[in-house]
């Protein structure tokens, strides 16, 4: 697994995790509540500026993590252009890119342990109803950490394909990437079982 926190220190690193997650929630609600193309364009431009403020290294690292979105951007734009709804397609793409970029900005400037502490405080009242908080926290942490791991493996598979063929990999790496994901899931499951499983975590 790899750390999602950026090695480049920014002012956002010193902000409370609860505040950043709250602002992210508010920004996501605002993005979903409007369909104005100029508004979404301005938000996306502002998000790019936020990435540029800490310097080129921070921007390049963040850009690499967002590169995984390009297939979705192509598919959404192609479909809306074909159906004659180009403006709606641009709005959806800008909304998606801004929301994911802002979420990535939070993960780059917030330690995972701090985010899990916020989740623990928010879900603590549900413990009396039998909710396994430790299991929930571990599941969320695994999702956050494993997504960039799988994205990195997808890039390695693409590079391996290009080294052996002149054709683009496209759908051809889907099956090996799925097998990699299943293998990683099996390893994680074995590690959890070796530590007592998710059920026992609630008692610790």
pLDDT tens sequence across 138-147:
777 777 777 7
Q: Cα dist. 89→70, 73, 157 in Å? A: 14, 9, 30
Q: Cα dist. 101→117, 131, 165, 183 in Å? A: 22, 31, 33, 28
Please tell me whether residues 105 and 125 are part of one structural domain. no
C-alpha span between 165 and 169 (Å, rounded): 8
Does a structural domain hold residue 35? Answer: yes
Please tell me whether residues 161 and 172 are part of one structural domain. yes
Secondary structure of residue 47 in the 3-state scheme: helix
**Residue after which a domain boundary falls, among 55, 89, 110:** 110
Does a structural domain hold residue 6? Answer: no
Please tell me whether residues 140 and 173 are part of one structural domain. yes
Instruction: Give, as one character, the DSSP assignment of residue 124.
Output: G
| Number of CB atoms found within 10 A of residue 173's CB | 18
pLDDT in tens, 42-101: 999 999 999 999 888 888 888 887 877 777 888 888 898 998 888 999 999 999 999 999
Please tell me whether residues 145 and 74 are part of one structural domain. no
Residues with Cβ within 8 Å of residue 175, at least 6 apart in sequence = none
Q: Which of 177, 153, 173, 154 is nearest to 165 (CA)?
A: 173
Please tell me whether residues 117 and 204 are part of one structural domain. yes
Average pLDDT over residues 171-189: 81
| Number of CB atoms found within 10 A of residue 17's CB | 19
The range of the structural domain enclosing residue 149 comes to 112-204
Give the model's pLDDT for residue 3: 45
pLDDT in tens, 65-80: 787 777 788 888 889 8
Total domain count for the chain?
2
**Residue after which a domain boundary falls, among 56, 83, 110:** 110
Please tell me whether residues 92 and 123 are part of one structural domain. no
Of residues 38 and 63, more confidence is placed in: 38
Does a structural domain hold residue 202? Answer: yes
Does a structural domain hold residue 139? Answer: yes
């Amino acid at each position: 697994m790899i750390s999602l926190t950026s090695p480049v220190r920014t002012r956002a690193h010193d902000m409370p995790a609860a505040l950043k997650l709250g602002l992210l929630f508010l920004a996501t609600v605002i993005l979903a509540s409007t369909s104005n193309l100029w508004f979404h364009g301005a938000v996306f431009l502002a998000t790019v500026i936020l990435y540029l403020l800490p310097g080129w290294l921070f921007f390049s690292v963040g850009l690499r993590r967002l590169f995984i979105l390009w297939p979705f951007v192509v598919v959404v734009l192609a479909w809306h252009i074909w159906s004659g709804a180009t403006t709606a397609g641009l709005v959806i793409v800008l909304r998606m890119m801004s929301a994911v970029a802002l979420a990535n900005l939070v993960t780059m400037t917030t330690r995972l342990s701090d985010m899990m502490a916020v989740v623990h405080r928010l879900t603590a009242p549900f413990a009396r109803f039998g909710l396994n908080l430790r299991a929930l926290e571990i599941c969320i942490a695994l999702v956050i950490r494993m997504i960039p791991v799988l994205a990195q493996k997808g890039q390695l598979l693409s590079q391996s394909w290009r080294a052996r063929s002149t054709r683009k990999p496209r759908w051809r790496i889907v099956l090996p990437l799925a097998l990699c994901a299943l293998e990683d899931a099996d390893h994680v499951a074995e590690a959890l079982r070796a530590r007592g499983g998710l059920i026992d975590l609630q008692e610790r």
